[in-house]
């Protein structure tokens, strides 16, 4: 907020932030209720270990939800997030025990994510192809690459690295907070500021001198980075790589973002909403598991809750977060 | 070739220039070119038996893509078609046959059920105003649960005579499935381009607010469009069961992406409001052809997947570009 520093803007900061919560307040209440229910069912949640464990099961979904929400804010969407997660996992599992070591492996994973995202972004933005179809085709290419790197589940993550990320440490929670703070920082940069403008009204933003194309391509690149990050974490959790482990993340990321009030047309929604949406999904799955729901009921309930949560603002007559 | 005929009657070639700008025709041209090249490059590819087989496979994708075309033109998207295909394929042996020796009754029950599922999608999109992607996605999740409930994860087989005939009979040397596809396609083109209902779908996709203000019942149209989506996916599902002889959980999964790809390759705008099923037909054939060619190239699953994605991406450059918006 370098441009608008001063006593007045500082006084306005928190009211403005509260104002931005308007559309997702109902969601926050629902999330709080679910977390309370989960804590009641599983009292161990309220210890450091319990929170760490829960954060570990939530972290990958939170990352892919941010990855999806970021694109949806610019008016895009990605159906290749699941494949990108898988690719991140297999690259991590094949490089980290090799000559590159953990640091080298980390670098390769991050570069791959940024590059894949940027290439997808250039194709969508510069060649003017519809994002949904490009990322659909990209999901085949990226998924194929993951299969080439590791045809069947295997590879390994060094044990100390697995323990650091997914052992008895609150690493996942800390990483999530750091990621959220980095998002705040990004929003304050020129590219971050362009993000909402490019999604809300691309033509107007372009005419107003906003670097629309660059902002959108950057969004795709960052989205790719977040997705491979989720893959890296999943690999650390399981201690190995699996070329199809990310498949379910594509649809869950869209569901979480939409639950969080992020609109499909761009420019509408907040990252905190998307993170809350992913928290709701993750707690829901855990609660149903604890209540001993059979898988059938889990699928059925998941479908109904997603529709209900999105439709509720319409039914009650309030205008939705869109 | 019946497809070629419907192509030219639908789009009378007034000028060569306008014909070359017609995406449906362009996609058709690409199919013909690929067939000719592949026929020369690989002996056996161009044989009648092989092309007939390709058309038979394309028929299933083409049927699923009918509903997808309707939904996409109306400005939505249906991500539940794969699940509906699976439900219909697995559901037929479970439906009561009421002592009907031809096996028509269970098929009709399943088709009605599939239409009902599509109608529920429409209900959510039109009345609850849930975004189509979320509504149909949640429906797919829901159906996945129902499937495990009814099928328990095991494969089901059928001796349904009607489906067996549609899946295997070849009157005059052409598969019955292809006849079915041709008839349903003609019906689709008629509904889409020559009825008030079809015009309403295009209006809805181009500008929902304007069409509502000019008297289109957008809710009813939306529900009808999604119901058609369910029906066509159900039709594809029972046909698939007839061809395979058995149904299993996951049998319909590939048809979700295939249907969307066929629609977009055929030049229908994913944003809604413009397009034609006449383009989706060659789009479906093109998809099957690409898959067949990739299978011929003896590559690992990874390379096959990469080739498939790259080819779709390359074809999109010809047929899927959006208009410049500034």
Q: Which of A249-258, A267-276, B167-176 has the lowest mean pLDDT?
A: B167-176
Mean pLDDT of B231-249: 86
pLDDT tens digit string along B130-164?
888 888 888 888 888 888 777 776 777 777 777 77
3-state secondary structure of B246: strand
Q: How far apart are CA A166 and CA A238, in angstroms?
A: 9
Judge: B261–A147 Cβ closer than 8 Å, yes or no.
no
Domain ranges of chain B: 2-319
Q: Does A137 touch chain B (CB under 8 A)?
A: yes
What part of B 45-84 touches A (C-beta under 8 Å)?
77, 79
Q: Which of B69-83, B99-113, B151-165, B272-286 has the lowest mean pLDDT?
A: B151-165
Which of these, A43, A307, A106, A216, lies nearest to B142 by C-alpha position?
A: A307
CB-based contact A267:A201 (threshold 8 Å): yes
Residue that has been written with the tokens 């075309």 in this structure: B69
Q: How far apart are CA B215 and CA B321, in angstroms?
A: 32
What part of A 175-204 touches B (C-beta under 8 Å)?
202-203
Q: How far apart are CA A92 and CA A86, in angstroms?
A: 10
Residues B2-319, CATH architecture: Orthogonal Bundle (1.10)
Q: How far apart are CA A4 and CA B71, in angstroms?
A: 46
Instruction: Give the nearest partner residue to B142 out of A142, A147, A303, using CB atoms.
Output: A303
pLDDT band at B322 (very low <50, low <70, confident <90, very high): low
- The DSSP line for B86-154 is HHHHHHGGGS--TT-TT-HHHHHHHHHHHHHHHHHHHHHHHTS---HHHHHHHHHHHHHHHHHHHHTT-
Mean pLDDT of B7-27: 59
Q: Does B152 touch chain A (CB under 8 A)?
A: no
- Nearest CA distance, B127 vs chain A (angstrom): 9
Is residue B325 predicted with pLDDT exceeding 50? no
By C-alpha distance, the chain B residue nearest A142 is B306
Q: Does A298 touch chain B (CB under 8 A)?
A: yes
B131: alpha, beta or left, given left = phi > 0 and alpha = psi -120 to 50? beta
pLDDT confidence of residue A38: 84
By C-alpha distance, the chain B residue nearest A262 is B131
Name every chain B residue with its beta carbon within 8 A of the beta carbon of A269: none
Judge: A254–B270 Cβ closer than 8 Å, yes or no.
no
Name every chain B residue with its beta carbon within 8 A of the beta carbon of A320: 129
Q: Does A103 touch chain B (CB under 8 A)?
A: no
pLDDT confidence of residue A89: 92
Q: Which two tokens stand for residue A157?
A: 């993550």
**Interface confidence (ipTM) of the complex:** 0.78
pLDDT tens digit string along A273-320?
899 989 988 888 888 877 877 777 777 777 787 777 777 666 665 444
Name every chain A residue with its beta carbon within 8 A of the beta carbon of B325: 202-203
Q: Does B294 touch chain A (CB under 8 A)?
A: no
What H or E segment, with its residue span, contains residue A273? helix A271-290
Is residue B2 predicted with pLDDT exceeding 70? no
Judge: B312–A140 Cβ closer than 8 Å, yes or no.
yes
């Amino acid at each position: 907020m370098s441009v608008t520093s001063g006593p007045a803007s500082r006084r306005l900061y928190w009211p403005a932030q509260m104002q931005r919560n308007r559309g997702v307040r109902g969601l926050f209440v629902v999330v709080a209720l679910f977390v309370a229910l989960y804590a009641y069912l599983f009292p161990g949640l309220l210890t450091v270990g319990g929170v760490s464990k829960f954060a570990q099961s939530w972290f990958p979904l939170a990352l892919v939800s941010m990855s999806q929400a970021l694109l949806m804010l610019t008016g895009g969407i990605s159906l290749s997030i699941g494949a990108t997660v898988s690719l991140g996992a297999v690259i991590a599992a094949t490089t980290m025990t090799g000559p590159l070591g953990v640091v080298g492996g980390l670098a390769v994973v991050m570069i791959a994510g940024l590059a894949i995202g940027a290439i997808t972004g250039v194709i969508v933005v510069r060649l003017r192809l519809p994002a949904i179809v490009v990322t659909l085709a990209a999901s085949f290419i990226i998924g194929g690459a993951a299969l080439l790197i590791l045809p069947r589940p295997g590879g390994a993550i060094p044990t100390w690295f697995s323990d650091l990320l997914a052992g008895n440490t609150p690493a996942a929670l800390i990483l999530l907070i750091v990621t959220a703070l980095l998002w705040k920082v990004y929003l304050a940069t020129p590219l971050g500021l362009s993000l909402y403008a490019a999604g809300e009204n691309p033509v107007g933003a372009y005419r107003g001198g906003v670097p629309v194309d660059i902002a959108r391509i950057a969004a795709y690149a960052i989205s790719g980075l977040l997705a491979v990050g989720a893959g890296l974490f999943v690999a650390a959790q399981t201690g190995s790589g699996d070329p199809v482990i990310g498949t379910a993340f594509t649809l869950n990321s869209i569901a979480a973002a939409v639950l969080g009030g992020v609109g499909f047309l761009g420019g509408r929604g907040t990252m905190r909403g998307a993170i809350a949406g992913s928290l709701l999904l993750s707690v829901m799955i855990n609660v149903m598991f604890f209540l001993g729901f059979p898988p059938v009921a889990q699928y059925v309930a998941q479908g109904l809750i997603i529709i209900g949560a999105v439709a509720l603002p319409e039914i009650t007559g309030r205008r939705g977060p869109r | 070739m019946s497809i070629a005929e419907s192509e030219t009657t639908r789009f009378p070639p007034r000028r060569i220039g306008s014909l070359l700008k017609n995406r449906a025709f362009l996609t058709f041209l690409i199919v013909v070119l690929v067939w000719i090249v592949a026929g020369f490059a690989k002996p056996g590819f161009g044989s009648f038996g092989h092309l007939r087989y390709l058309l038979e496979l394309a028929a299933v994708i083409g049927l699923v893509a009918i509903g997808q075309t309707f939904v996409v033109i109306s400005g939505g998207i249906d991500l539940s078609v794969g699940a509906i295909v699976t439900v219909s394929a697995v559901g037929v042996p479970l439906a009561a046959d009421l002592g009907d020796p031809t096996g028509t009754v269970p098929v009709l029950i399943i088709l009605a059920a599939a239409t009902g599922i599509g109608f529920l999608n429409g209900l959510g999109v039109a009345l609850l105003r849930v975004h189509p992607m979320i509504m149909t996605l949640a429906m797919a999740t829901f159906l996945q649960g129902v499937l495990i409930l009814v099928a328990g994860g095991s494969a089901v087989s059928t001796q349904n005579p009607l489906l067996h005939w549609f899946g295997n009979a070849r009157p005059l040397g052409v598969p019955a499935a292809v006849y079915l596809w041709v008839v349903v396609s003609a019906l689709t083109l008629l509904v889409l381009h020559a009825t008030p209902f079809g015009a309403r779908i295009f209006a809805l996709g181009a500008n929902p607010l304007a069409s509502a203000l000019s008297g289109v019942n957008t809710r009813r149209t939306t529900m009808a469009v999604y119901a058609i989506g369910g029906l066509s996916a159900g039709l594809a599902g029972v046909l698939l069961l007839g061809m395979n002889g058995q149904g299993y959980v996951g049998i319909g999964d590939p048809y979700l992406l295939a249907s969307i790809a066929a629609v977009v390759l055929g030049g229908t705008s994913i944003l809604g409001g413009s397009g034609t099923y006449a383009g989706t037909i060659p789009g479906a054939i093109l998809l099957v052809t690409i898959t067949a060619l990739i299978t011929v190239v003896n590559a690992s699953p990874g390379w096959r997947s990469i080739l498939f994605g790259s080819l779709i991406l390359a074809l999109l450059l010809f047929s899927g570009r959006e208009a410049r918006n500034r």
